[in-house]
Amino acid sequence: MVRYVLEVMYDGTKFHGSQIQGTTPTVQLAINKMLSTLFRKPIETLGASRTDEGVHALCNYYQFDIEELLPGELLYKGNAILPASIAIKKVWKAIKPDFNARFDATRRQYRYRIYTSKNPFLVDKALFFPYHLAHDVLQETAAIIKEYDHFESFAKRNSQAKTFKCTIYQSHWEFNGGELHYIVEANRFLRGMVRGLVGTQIHAARGKTTSSGFRQIIEANDCTKAFFNVPGHGLYLENIVYPEGILENVKTT
C-alpha cells in the first residue's frame, strides 16, 4: 500500500465547503469521485485543511492509499474528470510511512482580499468594501494578534477544538494591486478564525472599538464578542508547509 497526496486548488464558491458532508457537493466529495472513477473502486481521501463554504484554496492537500501503480497520466486524467472549479497542481508520494496530511503540516497561510472600487471581475473573489478603513488601526490590531496564542474568541461555536492555542508566525496588512490584503500564518487555525480576525479588525478600523477594546475581545475568550460578518469568498488558503523529506514529488503528465 502506497500513500499519495494530491496538491489541489479550487474556487470555493462552487462548493459547500471542502470537507465531506454526505452527498452535499464539497471539494473532498469531488476528489473522492474522481479517484474512484480513475481506479474503478471506492477511494476515500483525507484533507489537510478544512475550508468553509465559499472559501478558496490556492493550495490544499488530499491523501489517499492505493496498492496499484499510479497511472502516468494521473494529472491529465484527474483534471479531465474533475469539475472546472478544481485543479490538481502536483502529485506527491509520502516518504514518511504514517504521513498525515492534516497533522504533519507545520504551517498554514491564509490571505483575505478586500477591494474598494467596484469591479465586476472581483465578484465572489474578494470582499467589496467601499467604506473608510483606518489603515494604521489595521496594522496595529494585526500586530496585537501576534502577541497572543489563545484564540477562543475567534473560534465559532461548536468548533469541537480540543485546544484554542495557535502560534501566529505572520499577521499583517498590505496593499496589493489596488487591493487591501490581510495575511496570517500560523501552525494551526480554529474554525472560522481567520474570518473572525478580519471582521473584528475591520470593526476596529471603522472606529467602533479601540486597540484596547480589541485586546479585550481577544482576552474575553468569548466568540460572541468577535465579529465573523465577512464573507468566505474573500478568503484564500494560500500555502501549507510540511517538513522536508516526508513528501516526494511524483512526475506525472
Q: Are 92 and 248 in contact (CB under 8 A)?
A: yes
Going by DSSP bridges, is the β-strand pair 247-250/107-115 parallel, antiparallel, or unpaired? unpaired
Instruction: Determine which one of 52, 65, 136, 222 is catalytic.
Output: 52
114 in helix, strand or coil? Answer: strand
- Taking the C-alpha atoms of residue 59 and residue 10, their distance in angstroms, rounded to an integer, is 8
Q: Is 124 a catalytic residue?
A: no
Residue 36, H or E segment: helix 27-39
Residue type, 2: V
Question: Which of 131, 153, 146 lies closest to 208 in space, CA to CA?
Answer: 131
Which grid coordinates are listed for 135?
A: 489603515
- Taking the C-alpha atoms of residue 11 and residue 53, their distance in angstroms, rounded to an integer, is 10
Which active-site residues does the annotation give? 52
